[in-house]
Amino acid sequence: MDQVIVSTIVPQNTGHAWEYYFNQINKWWPQEFFTSPKTKKFVIETYVGGKVYEDYGEGDGLEWGQVIKADFLHSLIIQGFLIREFGGPAMTYETYTFSAVDSGTEVKYTLDPVGNGLSDKTLQQLKGSWEQLLGVHFKNYCSNR
């Protein structure tokens, strides 16, 4: 496995799907998917140069990456950092795409590791986690709106 690809279809237009994913992430992202019990909120700043991080409060936290491409309501690309504690050290490129379909919006997550920094086991674990995040937690949140 050289990349992780996960997608789900939510019953919302792309504007709502984008809003729910990025601006309401703390309403659906479960605590067990944070890296620390100290995490107060998860932030994805949806503009070029924006940070992706867990905020522990008072300036503490963990940066997951930085936005390198933003196409409002369509896609976001993050250059990510995976530290040893979570299967690295490695760099990743993570792409989120939002595409209109008949029944709503397809939200697709693609993780491309740089080089040979991630084992197949780590990639399989990441795929399973993203299937839960997108296909269960995010989809359920959108379905209840």
CATH topology of domain 4-143: Alpha-D-Glucose-1,6-Bisphosphate; Chain A, domain 4 (3.30.530)
pTM of full prediction above 0.95 = no
Q: How many residues does the chain have?
A: 145
What is the per-residue pLDDT for 19?
98
3-state secondary structure the chain: CCCEEEEEEECCCHHHHHHHHHHCHHHHCCHHHCCCCCCCEEEECCCCCCEEEEEEECCEEEEEEEEEEEECCCEEEEEEEECHHHCCCEEEEEEEEEEEECCEEEEEEEEEECCCCCCHHHHHHHHHHHHHHHHHHHHHHHHCC
pLDDT digits (tens, 9 = 90+) for 33-73: 999 999 999 999 999 999 999 999 999 999 999 999 999 99
Residue type, 59: G
* Nearest C-alpha neighbor of 75 from the set 41, 106, 30: 106
- If you search the block for the tokens 């379905």, which residue do you land on? 143
87-131 pLDDT per residue, tens: 888 899 999 999 999 999 999 999 999 976 688 888 999 999 999
| Residue 1, Cβ density class (10 Å: 0-12 exposed, 13-18 middle, ≥19 buried) | middle
